[in-house]
Amino acid sequence: METTGYSSHMMAFTSNPNIRLGVLRMKSYLALVAFCLPVLLSTRAYGLGDEQPLTVYAGVTTYNNPEYDSVVLVEFPFSLNRHEFGFYRPDSNEADLYTGIFAQVNLFDAEGLPIDSARTFFSVRVASREEAALPTYRLFNRLVVFAKPGSYSARLTVIDAISKRRGEFFLGEFVVDSVEKENLAIGGVCLAYRVNYVGESNGGTSSRLVKNGFEIIPNPLSVFSTKDTMMCLYGEVYNLNYSDDLPSKFQILFSAWDAEGSLFRDLGGSVLPKPGSTAVIAESFDIKDWPFGWYRLQIVVSDHTSNKSDTTSVPLRIISPEEIRLAFSRAESGDPYDTLSLEVKGNLVAYLLTPEQKATLARLSDRGKINFLDQFWREHDEEPTTRVIENRLALIKRYEYCNRRFSANADKTDGWSTDRGRIYMTYGPEDEIDDKQFPLVGNPYQIWYYWGMKEGKVFVFEDWTGTGEYRLVHSNVYGEIYNQEWQDFLDTGIPDLPLDR
């Protein structure tokens, strides 16, 4: 079993019942057991022997705690539908039924090579088969690994020890930042269905979901329904300027921003006494009147003694009851495409659809759009003999890369729509790039070369504003913008030759 986790050295309480603070200190921690929670989602039950895979929802949270020195704790919270598992009675004299669940996460580096894994086996007990078949209960657990700073992806696999059915969830490219040892830093921010202070002595069935005295029921996908009334947040603060002899305070502010980057709502905050050099933040927010859509929950922490601050944000989505099933749907193959939102699925084909197809897609309902996109990919599957659409998987990787490298917004979600994102999505990784950040004359520019394509393709991007917003200014590809001055410059083969513009 895994043995990584947390404990609290001391706990200080404030007048705000939603906020608790504590100093962090590491100790061994038994792997989590499952916890049952009634939820609004209702999905069909599958009997033993059904080939439908288990439904797995997973997320990733990083804890850049300086106590880890040069590595970062990476946590993978996940949830399962209890009714999908097989239960048995181990003894004829035993009234309760049990199931056994194996879970493993595999961590991959930027090249897709496996570098680490973590696993656990846990059991769940119910009183009857009727209870086991209830479709409104979910099981929660998590796995953790330590990783150095860098780019990673992961795949979480769950196996029912009774029925042998399995399910998977693929986590696309995510970044593990370096540990901050000097400046104020926020880490471990995650959204949850519930965050309750229960104390470290809690010994109930959910005790192994307790972190620093808080019972955390995670929301792995950070997706809430318009029927949800509360949203909870857990986070940690590191490197507060603290002295036992000189009490001091720090400030926490919360705000919500919409998809357009405008302030949606000021969620308030508090000025709190420091419990030590590290602290825990736990907060809940009323979301019963939030309209459906994409949001960014922003957290700002300021140290009144050092005058240092840090800001972070976590994306979330509020969806309609009708869309809740679509958002959590997944296919038998465990294809990561089936974990994407409808909006992202539309973004993936933005450069593949004809104008007529785009107009048709825009007129359809959500269900109609899903059917349209499914049909589109069936017709464009380059390897129809396999269960997974490989060219679609490659496009998802391109989409994630573009958002990470070329985005202008804080949420890293618009890189695909930039000029460089469009070219990368369409043609894939360049064979060679000439990146001139400080040319003798003119603006910074990049030249992308695709030597492997017929006659070679060239794309020139120029940073006109000096802000990193590169625009396509020239290409030799038919239908793209053509600039004779840039072509003359390329034909000379002389580095840093300024254009006469």
Is the model more confident about 368 or about 189? 189
Could you read off the pLDDT of 299-319 as tens digits, one per residue? 999 998 999 999 999 999 898
CB atoms within 10 A of CB 474: 21
CB 217 within 8 A of CB 196: no
Could you report the per-residue pLDDT of 66-75, keeping only the tens digit for each?
Answer: 988 889 999 9
354 pLDDT higher than 70: yes
pLDDT band (50, 70, 90) for residue 113: confident
Q: How far apart are CA 297 and CA 309, in angstroms?
A: 17
Largest CA distance in the chain: 91
Question: pTM of the entire structure?
Answer: 0.62
Residue 366, pLDDT score: 83
For 144, residues 6+ apart whose C-beta sits below 8 A from its C-beta are 2, 4, 5, 73, 74, 75, 76, 118
Domains within the chain, CATH numbers bracketed: 5-43+50-321 (2.60.40.10), 340-426 (no CATH), 430-501 (no CATH)
Give dist(CA 420, CA 334) in Å, integer. Answer: 30
CB-CB contact of 148 with 64 (8 Å): no
Residue reference for tokens 């400046």: 183
| Packed helices 419-427 and 390-406: angle between N→C axes, nearest 10 degrees | 160
Round the average pLDDT of the chain to a whole number and report it: 82
Backbone angles phi, psi at 37, to 5 degrees: -145, 125
What confidence tier does 25 reach under pLDDT thresholds 50, 70, 90?
very low
b/e map of 408-438 (b: 16 or more CB within 10 Å)?
A: eeebbbbbbbbbbbbbbbeebebeeeeebee
Percent of the chain with pLDDT over 90: 52
Give the residues across from 284 on adjacent strands.
232
In the predicted model, is pLDDT for residue 41 greater than 50?
A: no
DSSP secondary structure code for residue 88 in this structure: B
Going by pLDDT thresholds of 50, 70 and 90, the confidence category of residue 16 is very low
Task: Determine contact, residues 277/18, Cβ cutoff 8 Å.
Answer: no
Q: Cα dist. 40→193, 225, 321, 366 in Å?
A: 11, 8, 9, 20
pLDDT digits (tens, 9 = 90+) for 312-339: 999 998 987 766 665 555 433 457 787 7
| Helix, strand, coil share of the chain (percent; to 5) | 20, 40, 40
Distance of CA 460 to the CA centre of its chain: 32
With tokens 């593949």, the residue in question is 352
pLDDT higher than 70, residue 93: yes
- pLDDT by residue (tens digit) across 254-277? 999 998 889 999 999 999 999 999
Q: Is 337 helix (H, G, I), strand (E, B) or coil?
A: helix
What is the DSSP annotation of 113-145?
Answer: -EEEEEEEEEEEEES-HHHHT-TTEEEEEEEEE
Tell me the CB-side half-sphere exposure of residue 13, using CA atoms within 13 A.
8
Element (H, E) at 367: helix 366-379
State the Cα–Cα distance between residues 41 and 90, nearest whole angstrom. Answer: 30
| Band of pLDDT at residue 422, cut at 50, 70 and 90 | very high
